[in-house]
Amino acid sequence: MSVTTADTQHATGDIEQRVTALLAEMTLAEKIGQMTQLDASHGNPADYLGERLRSGRLGSVLNLADADTVNELQRIAVEESRLGIPLLVARDVIHGFATVVPLPIGQAASFNPDIARDGARVAALEAARTGVNWTFAPMIDISRDPRWGRIAESFGEDPYLTSVMGAATVEGFQGDDLAAVGTIAACAKHFAGYGAAEAGRDYAATYIPERELRNVHLPPFKAAADAGVAAFMTSFSDVNGVPATGNEFLLRQVLRDEWGYEGIVVSDWDSIRQLWIHGLSEDDRESAYLAVTAGVDVEMAGDTYINHLEPLLNDGEIDIARIDAAAGNVLRLKYELGLFENPYTDPDALPPIGSEQALATAKRAALQSVVMLQNENSVLPLISEELASVAVIGPLADDSYEQLGTWIFDGDPGLSVTPLEAIRKLLGDGAAVRYVKAMENSRSKAGPAFDEAAEAAGASDAAILFLGEESILSGEAHSRADISLPGDQAELVRRIRATGKPVVAVILAGRPLTLTDIVDEVDAILFAWHPGTMGGPAIADLLFGIESPSGKLPATFPRMVGQVPIYYAQRNTGKPATPEKAMLIDDIPVGAKQTSVGNVSYHLDAGYKPLFAFGHGLSYAEFRYDNIALSASEISIGDTIIISADLTNAGDVAAEEVAQLYVRDLAGSTTRPVRELKRFRRIHLEPGQTVNVRFELHTHDLAFYGRDMKLAAEPGEFHAWIGGSSEADLQASFRIVDNQAGD
């Protein structure tokens, strides 16, 4: 098509002028088209979407990742439609594209925003080759329930860690310039509170008091908005009785009015129509009304906007200004992405899939994501020179697909290096490797292969078990009520233990698991999450001491599922448990009086502590924290304070440690968590080296929504801890004094 009036008008000026000029040219149907996103995953989308594109009634597609097909759709949109508006092409690029980096929960375990940023960058470069220009990531839902399968896609339980990792992911996808080749738009999801699904059952309702929502669930979204994230996606779930997709409080009051967010708000898959299924609306028309007035700009994979926005407008129920704002948000992103200048994709302008740099990024991420949970008698690292043979056992030792984890639509198992391959390569001819898969998959039952595995272990100097969950056991709609090792894995562990050989468990999983059954049956545990393409080489390097483990837990590991929700930043209660006052079930004398067990907050059969605490993670080095110091013992509102401590590597290998700063506000207008992570830093230390770790906090870092629901730091006493986990005991105290009195 030749140059139209619209082309000449919208081709000049700054982006706002171009958006306004283009909107002025558009019909209502074309505007509603921009608010429509349809699935393009089957057949030839040019056949079934072509007509919509030609008539300007489709603004974006999802689930397409093929440059030729995308270019053809763009060509139809740009050359054969009246106004020539290019398409947004969306895809779930969650943790890598063809090259897969660790699950987000694993990235969070690195406590290193560079890992998230670099991983997202690699993913953007690979995805952009296919014409994808918008990803539905990062997922920044606070996840305090490991039963919830989507904890895999999250950065765990902590608002601060999630904020830092989420913002870094946005930076990685979007870079400094959305129009640059190889950057793609990001999307903060799922707004909001999705991770608090009752019983960890995906899509279940959530009940989150406003103060908790603001103090815990919303901060990562605010951080993503501040990082310039191009879009927000609504959550599927019901939040306090109003499903998020029709929730004006969240989408209008908080996001637009309070935060001033100007990007796109997209629904989740068909979640507008589902407002009716929730019971919020009577029919699709009312669902469309509720979503559009609440502030949803784009409907994903549904037709309520297609069918009902025009009648709603004609009947005066909605205003054209709302439609213009929504369509304008979509157009603005298209301009920012440079799609009007260049709608087409040239894969050759981008690095190849699985480039050396992509694989190196994936390996570094995997290395830093693995958490060493225990290491009895320093059984790790294994010393290759001292081993004549090793048994490699288990369903996840050599599975190039399962190590990638959930949400890997485009992941290429062909690029994977499995742990077995990497161990064989690392040991070379130096040691015999006896491999027994023992179980067909992670859910299998005991069988004759268990004998074979025990024989292999018995004949070897050490046994390494690769256990955990297949990728299908976590992710969307894959929640579990029992989060122990599935199938007969615990029995396999016992069989191997009986050989008397050193036993190392490497666990690949999409969530924290209850490992109570096996902790005493193995010497060491490396928790590797689903580590992605380069999981094998990373794990092999850690097992054999080429690198030291340095990951820390981004989510609490319960002893038993009945403890859930259990997270470190809990409130104190009026009767907190102590070791003396939490008598366990087997220690209670028969006939004891009701009050004799202590009347404190705990479970008789699980105690009050988790199996492994948030922030926990061991190293081959030995880290010591001393000399905590404060720059002042009192500060005023608006001041900063520096809290520091000496960190020493008292071990004999170089390693990285994640130093963590926790704070407690002792008395507030509302009660505050017993600890909150406020800062962290990953530091490399040579043996014998001491570093003074300094963390700077401003009083706004201590602000929270208190009794009056306003964000403010409150005067009073604070405790601060610096250490290697949420159980750090090196503590100092300071006060915020009231300098506002009389103001």
Residues in contact with ligand BGC by CB under 6 A are 92, 136, 189, 268-269, 476
d(CA 550, CA 617) in angstroms, rounded, equals: 7
Cβ closest to ligand BGC, residue 152 vs residue 436 = 152
CB 555 within 8 A of CB 400: no
The H or E element that residue 33 is part of is helix 28-34
Cβ closest to ligand BGC, residue 215 vs residue 235 = 235
Cβ closest to ligand BGC, residue 511 vs residue 679 = 511
Q: Identify the CA nearest to 482 among candidates 562, 402, 557.
A: 562
Q: How far is the CB of 298 from ligand BGC (least distance, A)?
A: 12
CB 170 within 8 A of CB 186: yes
Question: Annotated catalytic, 268?
Answer: yes
Q: How far is the CB of 92 from ligand BGC (least distance, A)?
A: 5
CB 466 within 8 A of CB 397: yes
Q: How far is the CB of 60 from ligand BGC (least distance, A)?
A: 12
Q: How far is the CB of 234 from ligand BGC (least distance, A)?
A: 10
CA-angle at 420, arms to 351 and 684, nearest 5°? 65
User: What single DSSP character describes residue 531?
Assistant: -
Chain residue whose CB lies nearest ligand BGC: 136
Q: How far is the CB of 268 from ligand BGC (least distance, A)?
A: 5
Strand, coil or helix: what is 227?
Answer: coil
d(CA 96, CA 353) in angstroms, rounded, equals: 11
Cβ closest to ligand BGC, residue 197 vs residue 503 = 197
* Peptide bond before residue 192 is cis, with ω within 30 degrees of 0: yes
Cβ closest to ligand BGC, residue 149 vs residue 537 = 149
Q: How far is the CB of 90 from ligand BGC (least distance, A)?
A: 8
CA-angle at 177, arms to 172 and 179, nearest 5°? 115
Q: Identify the CA nearest to 373 among candidates 537, 514, 561.
A: 514
CB 254 within 8 A of CB 248: no
d(CA 219, CA 227) in angstroms, rounded, equals: 12
Number of H helices, E strands in the chain: 20, 26
Cβ closest to ligand BGC, residue 92 vs residue 665 = 92
Q: Identify the CA nearest to 174 among candidates 161, 187, 165.
A: 187
Give the count of beta carbons closer than 10 Å to the beta carbon of residue 622: 15
Alpha carbons within 13 angstroms on the beta-carbon side of residue 2 total: 0
In terms of Cβ atoms closer than 10 Å to its own Cβ (0-12, 13-18, 19+), residue 692 is exposed
Which residues are within 8 A (CB) of 304 and not within 5 positions of it... i.e. 6 or more apart? 272, 273, 284, 285, 287, 288, 291
Could you say which of 92, 141, 238, 268 is catalytic? 268
Q: Identify the CA nearest to 519 among candidates 557, 564, 470, 566.
A: 557
Cβ closest to ligand BGC, residue 154 vs residue 514 = 154
Cβ closest to ligand BGC, residue 92 vs residue 469 = 92
Q: How far is the CB of 94 from ligand BGC (least distance, A)?
A: 8
261: tokens are: 């967010």
Q: How far is the CB of 189 from ligand BGC (least distance, A)?
A: 6
Give catalytic residues, as residue numbers.
268
